[in-house]
Amino acid sequence: MTETITGYLIDAKAGTIRSVEINRQDALKSIYAHIDCTCIDVVRIGDYHIAYCDDNGLVDGLDCFTQLANFPSPLAGNLLVTGVNEEGDSVSPTHSIDLVAGQFLISRAVFDPAFEHIDEPGIIGTRVAGFTIRVQQNRPAIIRPEV
């Protein structure tokens, strides 16, 4: 048995997904380090995959969040996707990173400035009069190791 398994780390702020190694001997510590939290939750992805997420990620203000296809709740913070065997142990995923990335959407708020024209004595130009807010959604960009 190898000492590590592979997982796919989704970095929501960066909008990326990449392969990472998880130490099998101290998997929980390795998972905490990858997703940068101290309390995890697990979301099932079909029969053979799971995503580890920050259990308290939705409590604080959010820069972004991730949505999993066919899962009703948003997921906050980094996510770590692994395979899972019949005993419930984490194993390397059987799905490709491309297939896993296609199941997630990262959503973030984008503030678009609304400008107003200034035409006053001695001042001609524009200024920001406010903002409109829209939600931008993207699949995580895959970061492949350099060969």
Domain membership flag for residue 131: no
Q: What global pTM score does this model have?
A: 0.86
User: Which pLDDT value is given to residue 63?
Assistant: 86
Domain membership flag for residue 42: yes
pLDDT (mean) for 97-112: 95
Geometric angle at alpha carbon 35, from 29 and 40, rounded to 5°: 70
Is pLDDT of 46 > 80? yes
Domain membership flag for residue 45: yes
Cβ-based neighbours of 146, under 8 Å, separated by 6 or more: none
Q: Which domain holds residue 44?
A: 4-107+138-143
Is pLDDT of 60 > 80? no
Domain membership flag for residue 19: yes
Taking the C-alpha atoms of residue 69 and residue 123, their distance in angstroms, rounded to an integer, is 52
pLDDT band at 14 (very low <50, low <70, confident <90, very high): very high
Is pLDDT of 87 > 80? yes
More confident residue, 97 or 60: 97
User: Which pLDDT value is given to residue 1?
Assistant: 59
User: Which pLDDT value is given to residue 78?
Assistant: 93
Beta strands per DSSP E along the chain: 4-11, 16-23, 40-45, 49-54, 64-68, 79-84, 90-91, 104-120, 123-138, 141-143
| Total domains in the fold of the chain | 1
User: Which pLDDT value is given to residue 121?
Assistant: 85
In sequence order, what are the beta bridge partners of 20? 7
Domain membership flag for residue 72: yes
Domain membership flag for residue 86: yes
Domain membership flag for residue 89: yes
- In three-state secondary structure terms, 111 is strand
Is pLDDT of 62 > 90? no
